[in-house]
A and B are shown apart, each in its own frame.
Chain A
Amino acid sequence: SAVISQKPSRDICQRGTSLTIQCQVDSQVTMMFWYRQQPGQSLTLIATANQGSEATYESGFVIDKFPISRPNLTFSTLTVSNMSPEDSSIYLCSVGGLSEEQYFGPGTRLTVT
C-alpha cells in the first residue's frame, strides 16, 4: 500500500483566484490520479498524471482550468484556476497499486465564496 498526504486539507478561497493542491506519496509510483467529489456526490476523475508525460484529462476537464504538474515519482500538484463557487468540492489524489487498485489521499476540501 501507499501513504498519501495532501496539502492543504481545506481552504476557503475567493472567486477568480487560484489554488494549488499538493499530493505527496511515501513511495515511488508511476500512476497518479486527481478526482473531484462535489458535495453529496460520487467521485469524478479529472485527469491521470504519469511522470514524464503530459496529464491526460477526462471529458469535461481542461488543462487551462486544472493544470497538473508531475515533477517526480512521489509528487504532483493540481491547480484549480479562476475559481467559481461551482468549483467548491473535495479534491482527491490517488495512486495506482500493483493490481489495479487505488490508494487515496485524505482530500482537500475547497470552498469558493
Chain B
Amino acid sequence: AQSVTQLDSHVSVSEGTPVLLRCNYSSSYSPSLFWYVQHPNKGLQLLLKYTSAATLVKGINGFEAEFKKSETSFHLTKPSAHMSDAAEYFCVVMKTSYDKVIFGPGTSLSVIP
C-alpha cells in the first residue's frame, strides 16, 4: 500500500526567506514522486518529478526537491520565497506508469511581504 503525508497543512514565510515544504511517503516499491502547485483559481501545474534518476531534482521557478530513500522523504525547497509562490502544494506518489496515483493532503504556502 502507498500513502503520502505532508507534515504541515500550512506554512508561512517572509518574502526572500527560504521555503521548506515537507513530504514523507510510504510505499512497498520504488515509487515515482512529484510536486504539483495549485494557484488560486488556476489549474494544477507540475513543479518537478523524481523517477529514480538523480536524487536532487530541480524544477521550475527555482524549486528543488531531494529524494531520501532512508528517510522516505521528498521535501520541497526554494532558497528565496517570492510573493507569487503563494499557493497550495501537493506531493504525489505513484507506483509506476500511472498506477496507484495518490495525492498528499496539500500544504498551503503563504508569503508575507
Contacts and interface: CB of A to CB of B under 8 A. Distances in A.
Interface of A: 4, 31, 33, 41-45, 48, 92, 94, 96, 99-107
Given A4-B43, A99-B51, 7 more contacts: A31-B98, A33-B101, A43-B90, A100-B32, A101-B49, A104-B44, A106-B43
Contacts of A107: 43
The secondary structure that dominates the B interface is strand
B101 A99 contact: no
A100 B49 contact: yes
B interface bracket (residues with beta carbon within 8 Å of A):
20 to 34
Given A100-B94, A101-B34, A42 B46 contact: no
A100 B106 contact: no
B51 A100 contact: yes
Contact of B44 (A41, A44, A92, A99): A92
Contacts of A94: 44
Contacts of A45: 101-103
A48 B45 CA distance: 19
